[in-house]
Structure 1
Amino acid sequence: MNNFVRILVILVIAGLVATETSAQTVIGNFGDWTVFKDSTGKNRACYIASEPKKETGKYKSRGDTYIMLTSRPAEKSRDVFELRAGYSYKKASEVAVRISNRVFTLFTDGGTAWAYDSKVDRALARAMIGGRDMLVTGYSSRGSKTVDTYSLTGFTAAYKAMNKACGLR
Structure 2
Amino acid sequence: MIALALLLAMPPRDVLGIFGSWGAFRDASPLRCFAIAKPVGGSGQPFASIAGWPGQGVRNQLHIRLSRVRAPNARVTLAIGERRFDLRAGDADAWAPDARTDAAVVAAIRDGRSMSVETIATNGAAFADTYALKGAATAIDAAALGCAGRG
Could you state the TM-score of these two structures normalised by the residue count of structure 2? 0.90
RMSD (CA atoms): 1.6
Q: Runs of 5+ in structure 1 lacking a partner?
A: 11-22, 56-61
| AA aligned opposite 1:68 | S
- Asked which structure has the greater CA Rg, the reply is 1
Question: Which residue number corresponds to residue 124 of structure 2?
Answer: 143
Unaligned runs of 5+ in 2: none
**C-alpha separation between the residues in 2 aligned to 1:25 and 1:95?**
31
Task: Give aligned-pair identity as a percent.
Answer: 26
- Map 1:1-169 to 2 at 5 A: 1=2, 2-7=4-9, 9-10=10-11, 24-40=13-29, 43-55=30-42, 63-167=44-148
Q: How far apart, in 2, do the equivalents of 1:52 and 1:103 lie? A: 18
- Greater relative CO (CA pairs within 8 A, separation 6+): 2
Instruction: Tell me if the contact between 1:54 and 1:150 (Cα under 8 Å) persists in the aligned partners.
Output: no
Q: Would the aligned equivalents of 1:93 and 1:107 in 2 still touch at CA under 8 Å?
A: no
Report the Cα offset of residue 127 of structure 1.
Answer: 0.7
* Deviation readout 1:88-119 (Å, 9 max, x if unpaired): 11112221111111101112101101111111
Give the conservation status (yes or no) of the 8 Å contact 1:136–1:149: yes
Partner of residue 14, structure 1 = none
Give 2:49's aligned amino acid. Answer: M
Of 23-32 and 73-82, the range deviating more from structure 2: 23-32
The one-letter amino acid of 2:51's match is T
Q: How many aligned residue pairs are there? A: 147
